[in-house]
Amino acid sequence: MGWPIFGETTEFLKQGPSFMKNQRARFGSFFKSHILGCPTIVSMDAELNRYILMNESKGLVPGYPQSMLDILGKSNIAAVHGSTHKYMRGALLSIISPSMMKHHLLPKIDHFMRHHLSNWDNQVINIQHKTKQMAFLSSLKQIAGIESTSPISHNFMSEFFKLVLGTISLPIDLPGANYRRGVQARKNIVSIVRDLVEERGGFLGRITKTCLKEHMAIRERKKPEDPIDCEDLKSMKFTRADKSIESQSYFLIFGGGTRQCPGKELGIAEICTFLHYFVTRYRWEEVGGEKVMKFPRVEAPNGLHIRVSSY
């Protein structure tokens, strides 16, 4: 079992597969050890490993190193079980469903890869570094919409690799240790994400201002009692959303083809007219910060409350 606290971690990290083979030669395919700060049962039996992976619902619960739990958090998808894991996994799979992959993700991935490999001719490439970089930057682009040329992406990437290294380390908080660097990287990543969320919030504010400007311009050229007409609706280009968005394969709010909603234009007219009178008469602020669910439909289970006041 090795030294106290350290156990056989040093041998495991240095020797890797050789350590496992040596232990199997001594103890068989199923043996005890102490790795990464945890008492560990090691199985090198392929059939048994498959059985364990396929039967979590029967009480065989996988465990992960303490360093991974500390750095990724106890609510990360690898650490949760049962219905919570099923829910989180389902939510993630919905983002990368076959339809999303075909119509939305794959074209972006294709564009990214073309650009990423565009200047490799006659270069000596560190393919390990480049592929790690490629996988991270491509995923960041798909998930957060951050371009690979952005300073944020490179700061994020540097911290991410420190975090990953720390997850497979001895959970001892010492200066210079991978574990400490991983914990600090998590804090830095949380800070980066928080800044992104605040920035996106500012973006939402700019959208609101643009919408308000469009409707105020319509109201200024009309008398107070004048109703909205078809020409006004046509002029609401921002509110209606750019036509190029409707042409995208993933934009199916109203269905498509022969299954397109026959009430599409009626729905758009109702929404645009409501927004026109709402934004030109009132200002508002959110109250309570209620939870909004996105599946199976967009809905706030406890309502979505705003405080309204006139201009």
Q: Which of 82, 115, 131 is the last residue of a domain?
A: 82
Q: Which of 34, 59, 82 is the last residue of a domain?
A: 82
Q: CA torsion 167→168→174→177, rounded to 10°?
A: -100
Total tally of structural domains belonging to the chain: 2
* Cα gap 242→273, rounded to integer Å: 17
Q: Which of 51, 67, 82 is the last residue of a domain?
A: 82
Q: Is 292 in contact with 300 (CB distance < 8 Å)?
A: yes
Mean residue pLDDT of the chain comes to 84
* Cα gap 185→46, rounded to integer Å: 35
The whole domain housing 69 covers 9-82
Confirm whether 211 is domain-assigned: no
Confirm whether 54 is domain-assigned: yes
Convert the pLDDT of each residue in 56-75 to its tens digit: 767 777 778 889 999 998 88
Distance of CA 291 to the CA centre of its chain: 18
Confirm whether 287 is domain-assigned: yes
Confirm whether 210 is domain-assigned: no
Confirm whether 149 is domain-assigned: no
Phi, psi of 307 (to 5 degrees): -95, 125
Confirm whether 220 is domain-assigned: no
Q: Is 251 in contact with 245 (CB distance < 8 Å)?
A: yes
- Checking if the pLDDT of 250 tops 60, the result is no
Q: Is 136 in contact with 154 (CB distance < 8 Å)?
A: no
Convert the pLDDT of each residue in 102-127 to its tens digit: 877 888 888 889 888 888 888 888 88
0.75 exceeded by the pTM? no
Report which of residues 126 and 187 the model is more confident about.
187
